[in-house]
Amino acid sequence: MQYSNECQLQIRLLTKQEIYSVPDVPVSVPSNIDPKALNQLLNELLKESSADFLKPKDFDFLAVGELIRLTLLEHLQERNVSTESTIDVEYIERTPAPEPEDSILHDDWVSSIQCTDKWILSGCYDNSVNIWTSHGKPVVSVKDHSEMVKGVTWIDRNDVSKGFVSVSHDQTGVIWEWVEGSEQMIPKVQLRGHERGIDCVSVSPNSATLATGGWDTNLKLWSASLNADDTGEPSSKRLRGARGIFTRVPLHTLKGHKEDISSVNWTDNHTVCTASMDHTIKFWDCELNGIKNEIVDQKAFLSSSWSTLSNTLLAASADRNIRLYDPRSTEGSICKSMFTSHVLWVTCVTWSKYNEHLFLSGSYDSTVKMWDTRSPKAPLYNLRGHEGQVLTVDWSNNKYLMSGGTDNSINIFKNKHVLH
């Protein structure tokens, strides 16, 4: 392979993907080598070391913990890394572009989505809660709420009889029971206690407790049990004239935010993280019912997502940026990275539950972006297709990337890089 640039760098090619390993001896390369040329070099080395690699593969390359997007020299200079010694360059199989799969049309704006292995749960501004097959076929739809549904989440995804919860701007939540594949969802329990519209809901990892937040600025905790009598509190009562649905009151109300709670996440069975329009993120101890930790920034937070793989938090803001926080960090700022590419407010963000580096974001600019945390300056892919603002994204099922918005549709992209 011939290069015009005479200035050389010494690199060592390394990988954690053993099937693609090559001898980790130093290689001399031109300083202006870019990812495309690195890919050619690596494929030649793979071809020399094994007859199995006759067909070239696509790889991404990392140096100093970030994906190389420029020439290697420019990448190192931006990070003030000396070029005198041998540079370790890690390579990984490139994540292929997700492929458009289906689009599911609703009667109004789509506010919330969560997918299981076979079923899609959605909430809509027409007050409806809906279940679809993963291929977009309608299964059941109910309008029990009197105002827009802002959040939905499965409680137990494993049983044939599945539980899920919906929350609404009618100030209530409903816990539902649905027998897999049936055309009827049964309201089991109504959650009453918020004084204004509820914007978000999340279930604890052990499926025991729900957390909700909304415009009354309060975080509320509830029993997630589908059994109407199993509340943890003696104050459940049967609502008269409401088809025998039980009313459930909160186990606890945690006060501290000053404006709308836009997002709620469980970090473990006893800790909840809330993001708010009041420019703060709070971590709550749900055993002591107090604040453990707080992050204060300059902009309203519109969405957040916690990764159990990396124990870090993504937060999307009204300043068009996404920030990655490590609340356990003891070195420097707890804000470790900032991702900038959207041109309008970033309304939603969610981690992949299967890869500690990948996440999705959605924006008022009508785009959904797939990111790798090791490439903060540019997304991996732009997933286009929405004709309105994007309000929600979901990556709960590794096979499918989903988004919903003000064009009344859920767009489904197939993830071609599913690890088994």
Examine the domain organization and report whether 177 and 222 are in the same domain.
Answer: yes
How far separated are the first and last CA of the chain, in Å rounded? 36
Does 185 fall in a domain? Answer: yes
pLDDT 10s digits, 290-335: 999 999 988 999 999 999 999 999 999 999 999 999 998 878 789 9
Does 126 fall in a domain? Answer: yes
- Expressed as residue numbers, the domain containing 340 is 99-414
How many Cβ atoms sit within 10 Å of the Cβ of residue 5? 12
Examine the domain organization and report whether 295 and 344 are in the same domain.
Answer: yes
Give the separation between CA 257 and CA 290, rounded to whole angstroms.
12
Examine the domain organization and report whether 112 and 231 are in the same domain.
Answer: yes
Examine the domain organization and report whether 71 and 104 are in the same domain.
Answer: no
Which residues, 6 or more positions from 18, have their beta carbon under 8 angstroms from its beta carbon?
none
Question: Cβ(175)–Cβ(167) under 8 Å?
Answer: no
H or E element in which residue 72 lies: helix 72-78
Question: Cβ(210)–Cβ(201) under 8 Å?
Answer: yes
pLDDT mean across residues, the chain = 92
**Encoded tokens for 354:** 């299967």
Which domain CATH number covers 358? 2.130.10.10
Last residue of a domain, one of 32, 60, 93: 93
Examine the domain organization and report whether 14 and 123 are in the same domain.
Answer: no
**Encoded tokens for 276:** 């708010």
Does 156 fall in a domain? Answer: yes
Last residue of a domain, one of 33, 62, 93: 93
The one-character DSSP state at 268 is E
Give the separation between CA 237 and CA 151, rounded to whole angstroms.
25
Tell me how many domains the chain contains: 2
Examine the domain organization and report whether 122 and 27 are in the same domain.
Answer: no
DSSP symbols for 22-69: -----EEEETT--HHHHHHHHHHHHHHH-GGG-S---EEEEETTEE--
Examine the domain organization and report whether 55 and 122 are in the same domain.
Answer: no
pLDDT of the residue at 233: 52
pLDDT of the residue at 129: 98
Last residue of a domain, one of 93, 117, 140: 93
pLDDT of the residue at 35: 96
Does 170 fall in a domain? Answer: yes
SS3 state at 417: coil
Does 389 fall in a domain? Answer: yes
Examine the domain organization and report whether 206 and 310 are in the same domain.
Answer: yes
Q: What's the pTM?
A: 0.91
The one-character DSSP state at 392 is E
DSSP symbols for 95-141: PPPPEEEEEEE-SS-EEEEEE-SSEEEEEETTS-EEEEETTS-EEEE
Out of 32-36, 176-180, 304-308, 415-419, pick the least confident: 415-419
Does 2 fall in a domain? Answer: no
SS3 state at 214: strand
Does 301 fall in a domain? Answer: yes
pLDDT 10s digits, 213-246: 999 999 999 999 988 766 555 444 444 334 568 9
Examine the domain organization and report whether 297 and 348 are in the same domain.
Answer: yes
Examine the domain organization and report whether 236 and 382 are in the same domain.
Answer: yes
pLDDT > 90? residue 248: yes
Q: For residues 417 and 187, which has the higher predicted lDDT (pLDDT)?
A: 187
The one-character DSSP state at 234 is T
pLDDT of the residue at 157: 59
pLDDT 10s digits, 274-283: 999 999 999 9
Examine the domain organization and report whether 353 and 384 are in the same domain.
Answer: yes
Examine the domain organization and report whether 230 and 326 are in the same domain.
Answer: yes
Residue 24 confidence class, pLDDT cut points 50, 70, 90: confident
Give the separation between CA 41 and CA 170, rounded to whole angstroms.
60
Does 419 fall in a domain? Answer: no
